[in-house]
Amino acid sequence: MTSPWLARPGDLAPARPRQVVHESWERSRRLDLDPERLLPALEVAEDSLADFRLAHPLAPVLPVIRKLLVRDAEGSGLLVAVGDEMGRLLWVEGDNASKRSAEEMRFVEGAGWSERQVGTSAPGTALELDHGIQIHDEEHYALRVHGWSCTAVPVHDPETRRILGVIDITGDARAVDPHTLPLIEATAAAAEAELMVLRLRALRDSEGAEPRMRIAGFARGSRPGAPRSTAYPRERAALPRPVSMHVLGRDIGELTTPAGTLELSTRHSEIVTVLAWHREGLSAARLADLVYDDAEATVTLRAEIVRLRRILASVGGVELESRPYRLSVPIELDAHHVISLLDRGAHRVALAASRGLLLPGSEAPGVAEIRDVVRGRLREAILTDASIDVLLDYAATDDAQDDAEVWTAALRLLPPRSPKRAGVVAHLEALER
């Protein structure tokens, strides 16, 4: 069955448009947009464009987008555009001849391409629906855009899932090739993962204080109340950050709340990790069993809960409730993020985001159970669907070094004349000794 989000390049003049296109046209009509006269407004002046770009949250991940999309678009007749959450194009790069042609429909940096401005288009409709979409030729609402096709995918904040912007490929029928949508979806996932990496790195590098808590919004040497960076013009104050915890490749958890970041003890890391995974809550006996391997250890557990509540109160943003024991707000583990990437087929990004085992030093049964789930999901997804390059990268990890099935799968996928086969064969022979 064909996805409703994919265009149908061979169907240039369908008797009835796809449902998703028809609904977008209806929204455009209700806004009294005139398809014969529609032309995007220049919403960001040329002299302000540099400031908008610098302050936009996607600016730091432009190198990722350029590496995955723009490099191959140059000379191809295709354009790669990155817009903000309001549909304003901030970067338009790619084929120079196509850039000049696209100026006639004002597909240029600074132009507003939201659905409310220009009707049905891939960037505007992707933002309106909050998912990727392809729009082919005459499916565009504005007559001036007929002859062009486009594919676009929204990009989200990796923690809040708030839309940050949109990535778009525009050009001829190649822009709506069936492979284009998954390519942009993978690029969006890579950009989101890079944002998370940069965010965690900034937290680690920021100034610490006992108990190694770093308050959000204060940089090293800054005066109290001074913002760390210039706010994006549309919103001068950053939205509150969700509660998250970094547990992959670490023996203790690093908890981040809207107020700051705190490293927990081993036992508290185990309790919070188990409760973050079991969001519905756990009885005292069940939690004691998952943390201490002893359902009768409820007295010990309650004493630890009292101490943990005090620590959570000191940083703010999350509380530990009772009957059953549960967290007052969901805590997003970086392990959740890895599984989300795997579910979206972004295997390479998921592997890069995994960064080691979950609380590797912990022997708590509940932690071991979660650790095995994450390891199993990663292994299964890579063995089943990943490319040979990703499979080889996974094989080189500590977790897969001695996994003969992984190395055998890599050997099976390598081309007969690949120079990498000799190394894989040698490794398999070493495992058999």
**Mean pLDDT in residue range 192-197:** 92
In a domain, 5, yes or no: no
d(CA 80, CA 151): 10
How far, in Å, CA of 300 to CA of 313, rounded? 20
Q: What is the pLDDT of residue 153?
A: 96
Q: Which tens digits make up the pLDDT trace of 135-160?
A: 999 999 999 999 999 999 999 998 88
Q: Domain check: are 357 and 283 in the same one?
A: no
Domain check: are 85 and 163 in the same one?
yes
* Same domain (yes/no): 41, 185: yes
Give the pLDDT score at 81. Answer: 96
Answer yes or no: is 207 within a domain: no
Distances (CA, A) of 254 to 7, 29, 246, 260, 431: 44, 50, 5, 10, 36
Asked which of 332, 349, 368 is the last residue of a domain, the reply is: 332
Of 139-148, 292-301, 344-353, give the lowest mean pLDDT range. 344-353
Instruction: Read off the DSSP letter of residue 113.
Output: -
For residues 307 and 428, state if they share a domain.
no
Reduce the DSSP state of residue 92 to 3 states and report it: strand
370, part of any domain? yes
Take residue 362 and report the two structure tokens written for it.
Answer: 């912990």
Considering the domain architecture, whether residues 94 and 64 belong to the same structural domain is answered as yes
In a domain, 358, yes or no: yes
Rounded average pLDDT over 369-379: 95
Q: Which of 140, 58, 55, 50 is CA-nearest to residue 102?
A: 140
Do 181 and 104 fall within a single domain? yes
pLDDT mean across residues, the chain? 85
Q: 61: domain CATH number?
A: 3.30.450.40
| 3-class DSSP assignment, residue 187 | helix
**Distance between CA atoms of residues 148 and 416, nearest Å:** 42
Residue with tokens 């109290």: 224
Residue at which a domain ends, from 310, 332, 354: 332
CATH of the domain at 245: 1.10.10.10
Ranges of beta strands (E only) in 270-421 are: 320-321, 326-327, 332-333
Residue 71 in any domain: the answer is yes
How confident is the model at residue 383, as a pLDDT?
92
Say whether both 175 and 122 belong to one domain.
yes
Residue 344, domain member (yes or no): yes
Name the domain count of the chain: 3
Residue with tokens 């007929």: 146
Question: In this structure, are 310 and 376 located in the same domain?
Answer: no
Question: Does position 219 have pLDDT exceeding 50, yes or no?
Answer: no
Q: How far from 103 is each of 46, 78, 91, CA to CA, in Å?
A: 15, 14, 14
Question: Can you tell me the mean pLDDT for 229-243?
Answer: 41
Residues 324, 380: one domain? no
Q: Same domain for 55 and 105?
A: yes
In terms of Cβ atoms closer than 10 Å to its own Cβ (0-12, 13-18, 19+), residue 374 is: buried
Judge whether 31 lies within some domain: yes
Same domain for 53 and 162: yes
**Averaged pLDDT for residues 119-135:** 94
Structure tokens at 343: 């579910």
pLDDT of the residue at 210: 39
Domain span at 94: 19-198
Q: Which residue reads 């960037």 in tokens?
A: 123
Instruction: Answer yes or no: are the C-beta atoms of 192 and 155 closer than 8 Å.
Output: yes
Q: Write out the two tokens for 128.
A: 């309106």
* In a shared domain, residues 328 and 359: no
**DSSP SS3 for 253:** coil
Whole-model pTM: value is 0.50
Q: Does residue 185 surpass a pLDDT of 80? A: yes
Residue 6 lies in a domain: no
Domain final residue pick, 332, 363, 396: 332
